[in-house]
C-alpha cells in the first residue's frame, strides 16, 4: 500500500509562502522585510490557486516563493537589521532614563552601516547586466535630484543623487554618447548608447514640486539607496575605462553659485598638475594625442618600407590608403518606392561631437539652462554662456560678447521701431555688458530652444529661420515613433499621403455641412419656393385618389417591368440618379445665391459639378471592382486564412480611418491659415 501524502506538504502549498509566514521565519519586522526584498530583487508571486497555496488565503494575501525566502535566510544584511533593532532599544532605554548624551553617543559611534556592494555583485554578474537595468535607476535618481528637501526627503539624499547624476552626465559629455532627446508632458526623455546598450531615462522639468502625503517615500528611499550604489559602481567602471579618476574633483564654491556641471573637473589618472577639464576647448583630447602618436609611428614605418623596397606593389593589387577608409555609417536605401522604410543607424560619436563644436551659444534667462547646457556639451559645444542669475561656471556672462554665434531665446520678437540702440561696452576689462530684452546683435543667430532638440534628433543642423523668436514652430515629434505604412505622417505633405479624391470628398462633406447650416437660416421666400417645387414634382401639385383595384394593377405592372428590366435599365437608373443629384445640387446652389443676393452662373457650376460627379463615379466603380475581386479571392481561401485576412483588413481600416481624420484636421488648419 502506497504511503498517504499529508495535505499541505507538496504542490503549491509547498512552493508558496505567505508574507506573514516569511516575516516570522526571518524574524525581522515588516519594514525591514520590505527593504530586504527590494535590495535582493525578490517580488511577490501570484499562485494559480490561492486555496491550494494556503487554507486561510484571502484576496489580499501576498505570496512569495518558498525558495526565495530560504535564500534570504543566509543574507548578511539580516545581521545588520538585528543590530539596528538592538541599538534602537538601547537608545530608547537611554532616553527613558534621561541620558541624552549616552543616546547621542550610541547613535553616532555604534550605528551599523549597511553595505550593498555584495548585493550589486550578486544581482549584476556582468557590467552589461548593470547597464541594461539602468533606465529605472536614472529616472528615479534624477527625480530625487530635483525634489525639495522635506522631512521625508533629507538634503543628504538630494545632494547624493545630484552628485552621481552629474558624474554620469559628464561621462556622456566626454564620450558624446547622447543620441536623442524629446520634450514631453512628463519631462525630458534622453537616450544614450553605452557599449552598445541603449539607455533611456526621464528627467522632470524644474518646476516647484509639491510633496504630497500620498506617496510612500520610505519605499522610494529604499530604491534610491540601492540605485545610488548601483550608479556609483557604473560610474566608476565607465570612468576607469576612459582612464579618468573617480570621483572627479568637486568645487563646493562653484556648486553653491549654481554651476552644477561646471563644478566638476575631470582628471586623468596620471595627469596630476594638468587636469583635463571639460571647459578646455583648445586642449587636444586623449584620442587626438593617440592619433598624433600613431601618425608619427606610421611615418617611421613607411620610411623603413621604402628603404627596403617593399612599397612596390603591382597594379593588379590596388592598396587602400588611409584617406579612402572612412568610418561613416552606411545609409540603407529601399529598392522600391512602395517598400517599407529601413531603420537607419544612429549618429556615431565623432558626428555627434562635431554637431555644435564650431559655435558659441548664449542661453537667455528665460530658457532652461540645465538641459540645454547638457545637450550642447554632449554634442561638442565647448563655449556656452548665460546670465549671472542662472549661476556660475559660464564661458561668458557678457551677452554682447562678439564671439557668440547663437543665442537661445524664448520670448517673442519686437518690431524694429521699438528696439533700443545697442549700448556701448562698459569701461574696464572684464566688465559685463547687458543687452536690453528684444535687442538684436548683428551677425548673431537667434533661435528658440526647440531648434536644439530637433537638430540632434535629425542628426543635422536645421534651418534656424524656422525657429526664429516669435515664429510658429514646426511640430516637435518623438524620435522613437516611426511612421507606419498607411498611417498619418505629420512630416510629409498632404499631397504625398492622401488618397486619390480624398480632398474632393472632404470638400463635398464640408459643402454639405455648410448647406445644412444655411438651410436652417434660409429666408421664408426660399422655403416657400422649395415647398412649391416639391408640390409641383408630385402630380403637378394635386392630390389624386386611387382605388384598390388600380393599386393592384399598378403593382403587377411594376413587377413585370422589374422582371424584364435587365442591365440597361440599371445603367439608365444610375444615370438618372446622377442627373437628379446634379439637378438637386444646382437647385440648392441657386437658392443659396438668391438668398444671399448674388448672381448665379449655371453653366460653369454645372460643368464643374458634372466633372466631379464623373470622377466620383469612376472612383466608386473602381472601388467596387476591387471589392469584388477581393471577395472572389476570399472565396478561394480556407476558413482560417479568411478570418485572419478579415482581422488584418479591420485593423488596416481602423488605422486608415484615424489617418484620414488627422489629414482632414490638418487640411482644415492649412485652409484656415491660407485664408
pLDDT digits (tens, 9 = 90+) for 46-81: 988 888 888 777 888 899 999 999 999 999 999 999
Phi-psi region of 56 (alpha: psi -120 to 50; beta: other; left: phi over 0): alpha
Residue span of the structural domain in which 20 resides: 12-109
Residue 323 pLDDT: 40
Same domain? For 154 and 90 the reply is no
The yes-or-no verdict on residue 167 having pLDDT over 90 is yes
Say if CB 35 and CB 75 are below 8 A apart. no
Separation between Cα atoms, residue 165 and residue 49, nearest integer Å: 44
Residue 345 pLDDT: 58
Backbone phi, then psi, for 332, in 5-degree steps? -90, 125
Mean pLDDT computed over 227-233: 96
Residue 540 pLDDT: 44
The chain-wide mean pLDDT, for the chain, equals 78
Proportion of the chain above pLDDT 70, given as a percent = 69
- Give domain status of residue 213, yes or no: yes
Strand ranges, E, within 508-663: none
Separation between Cα atoms, residue 534 and residue 541, nearest integer Å: 8
Residue 482 pLDDT: 78
Range in 201-210, 253-262, 360-369, 617-626 the model is least confident about: 617-626
- Give domain status of residue 571, yes or no: no
The yes-or-no verdict on residue 522 having pLDDT over 90 is no
- Give domain status of residue 471, yes or no: yes
Question: pLDDT band at 30, cuts 50/70/90?
Answer: very high
Partners of 203 in the β-ladder: 188
Same domain? For 47 and 100 the reply is yes
Residue 193 pLDDT: 94
Q: What is the pLDDT of residues 616-631, one digit of tens each?
A: 788 788 888 888 888 8
Residue 334 pLDDT: 57
Q: What is the pLDDT of residues 444-481, one digit of tens each?
A: 999 999 999 999 999 899 999 999 998 889 889 899 88
- Give domain status of residue 231, yes or no: yes
Same domain? For 76 and 135 the reply is no
- Better-scored residue on pLDDT, 545 or 574: 574
Residue 499 pLDDT: 73
Residue 90 pLDDT: 92
Count the domains in the chain: 3
Residue 450 pLDDT: 95
DSSP 73: T
Residue 276 pLDDT: 39
Separation between Cα atoms, residue 221 and residue 171, nearest integer Å: 25
Write the CATH number for 403: 3.40.50.10190
- Give domain status of residue 402, yes or no: yes
Range in 188-197, 225-234, 290-299, 342-351 the model is least confident about: 290-299
Separation between Cα atoms, residue 585 and residue 515, nearest integer Å: 10
Same domain? For 186 and 69 the reply is no
- Better-scored residue on pLDDT, 496 or 240: 240
User: Does the predicted TM-score (pTM) go above 0.85?
Assistant: no
Indicate the pairing of strand 383-386 with strand 360-363: parallel
SS3 of residue 252 by DSSP = helix
- Give domain status of residue 88, yes or no: yes
Q: What number of residues does the chain have?
A: 675
- Give domain status of residue 89, yes or no: yes
- Give domain status of residue 59, yes or no: yes
Is residue 445 classed exposed, middle or buried when 0-12, 13-18 and 19+ CB atoms within 10 A define those classes?
middle
C-alpha cell recorded at residue 514: 455648410
Amino acid at each position: 500500500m502506497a504511503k498517504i501524502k499529508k495535505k499541505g506538504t507538496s504542490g503549491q502549498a509547498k512552493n508558496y509562502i505567505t508574507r506573514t509566514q516569511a516575516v516570522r521565519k526571518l524574524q525581522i519586522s515588516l519594514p525591514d522585510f520590505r527593504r530586504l526584498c527590494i535590495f535582493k530583487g525578490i517580488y511577490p508571486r501570484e499562485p494559480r490557486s490561492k486555496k491550494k497555496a494556503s487554507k486561510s488565503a484571502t484576496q489580499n494575501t501576498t505570496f512569495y516563493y518558498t525558495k526565495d525566502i530560504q535564500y534570504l535566510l543566509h543574507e548578511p544584511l539580516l545581521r545588520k537589521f538585528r543590530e539596528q533593532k538592538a541599538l534602537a532599544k538601547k537608545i530608547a532605554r537611554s532616553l527613558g532614563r534621561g541620558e541624552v548624551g549616552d543616546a547621542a553617543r550610541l547613535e553616532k559611534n555604534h550605528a551599523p552601516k549597511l553595505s550593498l556592494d555584495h548585493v550589486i555583485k550578486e544581482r549584476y554578474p556582468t557590467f552589461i547586466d548593470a547597464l541594461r537595468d539602468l533606465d529605472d535607476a536614472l529616472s528615479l535618481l534624477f527625480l530625487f535630484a530635483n525634489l525639495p528637501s522635506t522631512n521625508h526627503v533629507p538634503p543628504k539624499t538630494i545632494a547624493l543623487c545630484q552628485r552621481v547624476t552629474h558624474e554620469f552626465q559628464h561621462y556622456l559629455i566626454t564620450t558624446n554618447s547622447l543620441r536623442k532627446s524629446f520634450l514631453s508632458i512628463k519631462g525630458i526623455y534622453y537616450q544614450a548608447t553605452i557599449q552598445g546598450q541603449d539607455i533611456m531615462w526621464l528627467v522632470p522639468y524644474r518646476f516647484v514640486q509639491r510633496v504630497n502625503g500620498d506617496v510612500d517615500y520610505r519605499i522610494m528611499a529604499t530604491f534610491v539607496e540601492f540605485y545610488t550604489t548601483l550608479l556609483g559602481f557604473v560610474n566608476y567602471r565607465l570612468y576607469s575605462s576612459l582612464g579618468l579618476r573617480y570621483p572627479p574633483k568637486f568645487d563646493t564654491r562653484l556648486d553653491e553659485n549654481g554651476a552644477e556641471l561646471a563644478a566638476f573637473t575631470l582628471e586623468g589618472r596620471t595627469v596630476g598638475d594638468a587636469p583635463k577639464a571639460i571647459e578646455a576647448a583648445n586642449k587636444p583630447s586623449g584620442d587626438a594625442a593617440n592619433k598624433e602618436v600613431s601618425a608619427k609611428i606610421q611615418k617611421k614605418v613607411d620610411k623603413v618600407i621604402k628603404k627596403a623596397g617593399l612599397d612596390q606593389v603591382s597594379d593588379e593589387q590596388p592598396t587602400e590608403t588611409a584617406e579612402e577608409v572612412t568610418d561613416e555609417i552606411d545609409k540603407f536605401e529601399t529598392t522600391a518606392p512602395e517598400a517599407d522604410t529601413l531603420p537607419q543607424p544612429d549618429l556615431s560619436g565623432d558626428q555627434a561631437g562635431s554637431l555644435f563644436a564650431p559655435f558659441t551659444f548664449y542661453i537667455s534667462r528665460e530658457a532652461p539652462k540645465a538641459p540645454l547646457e547638457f545637450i550642447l556639451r554632449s554634442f561638442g559645444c565647448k563655449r556656452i554662456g548665460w546670465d549671472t542669475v542662472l549661476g556660475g561656471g559660464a564661458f561668458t556672462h557678457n551677452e554682447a560678447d562678439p564671439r557668440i554665434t547663437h543665442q537661445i531665446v524664448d520670448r517673442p520678437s519686437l518690431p524694429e521701431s521699438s528696439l533700443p540702440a545697442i549700448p556701448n561696452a562698459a569701461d574696464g576689462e572684464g566688465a559685463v555688458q547687458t543687452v536690453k530684452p528684444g535687442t538684436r546683435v548683428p551677425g548673431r543667430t537667434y533661435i528658440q530652444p526647440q531648434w536644439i532638440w530637433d537638430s540632434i534628433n535629425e542628426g543635422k543642423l536645421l534651418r534656424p529661420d524656422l525657429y526664429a523668436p516669435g515664429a510658429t514652430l514646426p511640430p516637435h515629434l518623438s524620435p522613437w515613433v516611426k511612421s507606419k505604412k498607411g498611417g498619418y505622417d505629420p512630416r510629409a505633405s498632404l499631397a504625398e499621403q492622401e488618397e486619390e479624391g480624398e480632398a474632393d470628398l472632404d470638400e463635398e462633406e464640408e459643402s454639405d455641412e455648410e448647406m445644412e447650416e444655411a438651410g436652417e437660416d434660409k429666408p421664408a421666400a426660399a422655403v416657400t419656393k422649395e415647398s412649391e417645387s416639391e408640390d409641383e414634382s408630385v402630380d403637378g401639385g394635386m392630390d389624386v385618389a386611387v382605388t384598390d383595384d388600380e393599386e393592384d394593377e399598378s403593382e403587377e405592372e411594376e413587377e413585370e417591368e422589374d422582371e424584364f428590366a435587365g442591365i440597361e435599365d440599371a445603367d439608365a437608373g444610375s444615370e438618372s440618379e446622377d442627373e437628379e443629384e446634379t439637378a438637386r445640387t444646382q437647385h440648392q446652389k441657386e437658392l443659396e445665391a438668391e438668398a444671399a443676393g448674388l448672381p448665379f452662373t449655371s453653366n460653369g457650376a454645372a460643368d464643374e459639378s458634372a466633372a466631379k460627379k464623373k470622377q466620383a463615379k469612376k472612383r466608386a466603380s473602381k472601388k467596387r471592382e476591387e471589392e469584388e475581386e477581393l471577395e472572389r479571392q476570399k472565396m478561394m481561401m480556407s476558413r482560417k486564412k479568411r478570418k485572419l485576412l478579415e482581422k488584418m483588413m479591420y485593423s488596416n481600416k481602423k488605422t486608415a480611418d484615424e489617418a484620414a481624420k488627422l489629414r482632414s484636421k490638418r487640411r482644415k488648419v492649412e485652409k484656415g491659415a491660407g485664408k
